[in-house]
A and B are shown apart, each in its own frame.
Chain A
Amino acid sequence: MGSSITHIRNFSIIAHIDHGKSTLADRLIQKCGGLQEREMAEQVLDSMDLERERGITIKSQSVRLSYEAANGETYQLNLIDTPGHVDFSYEVSRSLTACDGALLVVDAAQGVEAQSVATCYSAIDLGVEVLPVLNKMDLPMAEPERVATEVEEIIGLSTDDVVRISAKTGDGIDELLEQLVERIPAPQLSDVEGAQALIVDSWFDNYLGVVSLVRVFAGELRKGDRIVAYSVGQTHTIDEVGVFTPRREKVDVLQSGEVGYVVAGIKEIHGAPVGDTLVFANSETPALPGFAKAKPQIFAGLYPSNSDDFEAMRIALEKLCLNDAALHFEVETSDALGFGFRCGFLGMLHMEIVQERLEREYDLDLITSAPSVVYEVVDRDGETLRIDNPSQLDDSGRIVEIREPIAEVNILVPPDYLGNVIELCIGRRGVQRSMLFTGGQVSLRFDIPMSEVVLDFFDKLKSVSRGYASLDYSFDRFETAPLVKVDILINGTKIDSLAMIVHRERANARGREMASSMKALIPRQMFDVAIQAAIGRQVIARTTVKAYRKNVTAKCYGGDVTRKKKLLEKQKEGKKRMKQVGKVDIPQEAFLAALSVDR
């Protein structure tokens, strides 16, 4: 079913969560006959269980559709799905690289959201044609005029021909498809010799090995072709090429301009890195520009609660990394938690997802330490070091300067909540850079320390704006700040994985809050448990979990033994989920206590 390159349209949908991207994708698949009616599980593109449950898209997927336009011609439409959460903006731009156009879907009742603005800018930078689409026109609160104004004023796109649709009812879908074919350009023919296919995504399949989603920019790929991933250099023979409709279907050839998958017996998980180019073996064909690696914004220690699982965890992380270019990890040792991994994530949601996948798909039981951003420190010799684990911060006086990452934060919020949002930003040590009133929203720009943004800022922003504010942020620069390390000591022992780097003015309050939240989390034991927070040698907070007075089974006669033993076993099982530090059993949640501290 190969199509002439002029009849191919590769596009993505840019939309904020809730703005109806998945519903629209479903509608397009239905319209273009990708699936029989009965196969239409709702939201087909969100294939991972986790995505389904959280109602968000994490990984890009693609689907090839066949559309017969009003002019009688049949077009091949390749929809490349993109994630819709602030943590995953990097994956969005990756998907955009494979496209020639994008639909910017905006909720006609809510208006433009900050993240869509940022994504649109990346799309425009990449030369992708952006078509604004107003969705949810069926809602009585829809205000297409106001929202169109926002699209023009905030993003700078003309809305003269804006398509108005309701993905839910199907209204306007035909017009959208016509516009799509008309306005999104066909892929450009390349005059490069050989073949060039950009790896948009790779994942590990238990039966096929590594499967790569590619966009062919030049030449053709077929079964039997001998190829190499440019940066890896190892030759493989293609076993299978195909497309998703969204079912996986083999095809004979992937032509220039097309999107599809390649299976080439690559077993080893670094054999097909995302962003790399597939070219024919022994050819002189150059690589495509690819894309820059996503930089993790937060780092946390992930430890198997059973140390025997260390190797299994390494393998699991390696597999996750194949599908998740933004995930970083390296071995880390903690006095408290033993052997584990320091992992880098794009944000909190990313971290939670990785954690959940490790636990669910790989059956691992994990202990996670509170995440930290990366700091730059300068020592007395003038050397600059990067620190992503607060316990590594030398507090013996060798450090002369600590610099923290500052994020450029863009927020769109209706004027009613502007006061709340500004207050929140200032509370997070933010500095206002600009404010612009437009349509029904205010566009705000703040510089805020990354450490104040990555953890719970998004949740707080949503709550102070009743869900109306939207957020986009990115790393901007490092800046010197009066930061100190706060250590937590349990019965006099420093717990390395509980150390935090905090602004000096807030250190005492944070230390007190940490101590009291640890007190609430640590169960009573045989001995008193002293909890202290300290800066260097100076104790700034202390509290005690008093020892159990008595832990005694009142009655036990001949008949009770088996049952009483089961109770003890259950108790012991509960303790297994704790880490022993010295004599003290610390529950896993305590290592995340810093997160539960209300800032």
Chain B
Amino acid sequence: MVKSELIMRLAELNPHLYQRDIERIVSTVFEEISQALARGDRVELRGFGAFSVKRRAARVARNPRTGAAVNVAEKHVPFFKTGKELRLSLNQGSKQ
């Protein structure tokens, strides 16, 4: 499913809303999460999961082709941990 399909599905479930509004709702949700992460905040959505930012320290890496040492600057990467409820429902039905 891509974003446009998500919007279509929500539009079917909410026939009283304009598709344009649904688009804005979906964009706002992801925009708010992105902004929070860009501030270094955590986003916790119980049952779904939590987004956070992890710091990766600067390190010296090697170019695997030439073996030359390269300095890699410190960076921050977004991280998602699946919520308990979603983790359980992913495994329901089939195994366990």
Partners in one complex: no
State the A residues within 8 Å of B (CB): none
